[in-house]
Structure 1
Amino acid sequence: MTTIAVIGATGRTGRLVVEHALAAGHHVTAVARHPEALGPTRARLTVHSADVLAPGSLHGVLDDQDAVISAIGAPDRGATTVYSAGTTEVIPALKPHGRLLVISSAGLSIPADAPAGTRLAARILHRLMRRTYADMARMEELLAASDLTWTVVRPTRLTDRPGTGRLRTSLGATARVGSQTTRADLADYLLASIDDPRTHRTVVAISS
């Protein structure tokens, strides 16, 4: 049994992380601007209202957590600082060497073994998502410079289909994975990686 804080707990992925963590028997602190959107209070669930972009809003909230999962995200492809600014608030709110897992995107890099068609599609997507990807890259740089025990999980295109239980992963995000990732599979991978030392201080590309 683990105590886990989920930041961005009312988003499409964050909700699933909360539900899967509770189903696995963990104690969960759901952090969001409007955590009441998660519905009635349940056993082992604590809700905390906080705006991750407000300086100092997480002070004291994450002190007793075994792990923190950040599921924050931008609402569209426009210019954003939500990833970097949110992570700037999360990092000092954790104890030294605290466990932090964040969601990024497989689109940040193109694996060396990707075929030509995939490379072309990736370049087009990177142009469309350049502002989001730029802020994700800033987020990853902040983590790399921190003393936290972090993991960056980079899923491919997210879908709301049921989980498959058949994940493809690439430690270091150097090899090709599949084209889609269900949010349910992503939630399961985040939880399974909490105690996996292979994922410490590295990026991991995943797909369903």
Structure 2
Amino acid sequence: MKLTVFGATGGIGQEIVRQALTTGHEVTAVVRDPARFTVTGPNLTVVRDDLSAPETVRPAVAGRDAVLSGLGARSRKDAGVATRLTRTVLDAMEAEGVRRLLVVSAGPVGPEAEGDGMLDRTMRGLVSAVLKDVYADLREMEAALAGSATDWTVVRPPRLQNKPLTGSYRTVVGGFPRRGRFIARADVAHAMLAMTEDPGTVKQGVGVAY
């Protein structure tokens, strides 16, 4: 497949690019600072863009089979970037007629897992309170996706870890895995690539966790 990856210098974004290249996809990685991007490969094109305008982004998404995004706030002071940058990507995709889009959100933005106990509900509430501005940004981003013409999927992980790929995790379409507290960035990337061709995840939020 021909894929474009936004947020490719982030932990999930780099994993998406790396794994996609390993499995034979043709990848365009869109980055703000190429010096921070360390992945290489014969089927890789690196494009520098700060996503300030859809017009400059259109060539990066034109003719692509799918677009995957790891865009988001790196800290609470960055709240707002997920919505702003994702809207630029949406406008570029709609202008080029590209439909498939997968983005990273967060577990607390979606519904609670069925059957979670008091500990999980309490921790979820505490994290949501601390990161309320970041999660408000992600909710606005999800609303922008829902109002778009794309075939979007929102992937909602819990706490992220820098651990090796396992390929073993749980996903729940429209919900969240019970007692799902952690997942490696590499496995989030793996899940996103697997969902790219899964019609059952189109226009859905998908919880993913160990």
Do both share a fold (TM > 0.5)? yes
Which residue is equivalent to 2:70? 71
Partner Cα separation in structure 2 for residue 127 and residue 40 of structure 1: 35
Following the alignment from structure 1 to structure 2, what is the Cα–Cα distance between the partners of residues 6 and 175?
Answer: 26
Answer with 138-147 or 55-64: which moved more: 55-64
Give the alignment's Cα RMSD to 1 decimal.
1.6
1:3 equivalent in structure 2: 2
Q: 98-107 or 174-183, which moves further after superposition? A: 174-183
TM-superposed deviation, 1:113: 2.1
Structure 1 residue aligned with 2:57: 58
Identity of aligned residues (%): 35
Letter in 2 for 1:205: G
Contact 1:113 1:175 in 2 (8 A): no
Report the structure, 1 or 2, having the larger helix content: 2
Moved more, 171-180 or 43-52: 171-180
Shift of 1:196: 0.2
Question: What is the rounded CA distance, in whole Å, between the counterparts of 2:40 and 2:186 in structure 1?
Answer: 22
**Partner Cα distance (1:36, 1:99) in 2:** 28
Structure-2 separation of matches of 1:39 and 1:147: 33
1:143 is the counterpart of 2:145: yes
SS of match in other structure, 1:47:
strand
Is the CA contact (8 Å cut-off) linking 2:170 and 2:177 kept in structure 1? no
Q: Which amino acid is the alignment partner of residue 139 of structure 1?
A: M
Structure 2 residues without counterparts, runs of 5 or longer: none
Whether the 8 Å CA contact 1:32–1:48 is kept in 2: the answer is yes
State whether residues 177 and 208 of structure 2, in contact with CA within 8 Å, keep that contact through their aligned partners in structure 1. Answer: no
Cα deviation digits, residues 177-197 of structure 1 (max 9, x gap): 521011111111111111000
CA pair 120-41 structure 1, distance change in 2 beyond 3 A: closer
1:170/1:177 contact within 8 Å kept: no
Contact 1:5 1:31 in 2 (8 A): yes
Q: What is the Cα deviation at residue 40 of structure 1? A: 7.3
Q: Which runs of 5+ in 1 are unaligned?
A: none
Q: Would the aligned equivalents of 2:28 and 2:44 in 1 still touch at CA under 8 Å?
A: yes
Distance 2:32 2:23 in 1: 25
SS of the equivalent of 2:50 reads coil
- Show the counterpart of 2:188: 186
**TM-score in terms of structure 1 length:** 0.93
Deviations along 1:38-62, one digit per CA (max 9) or x if unpaired, are 347530000100012x123313220
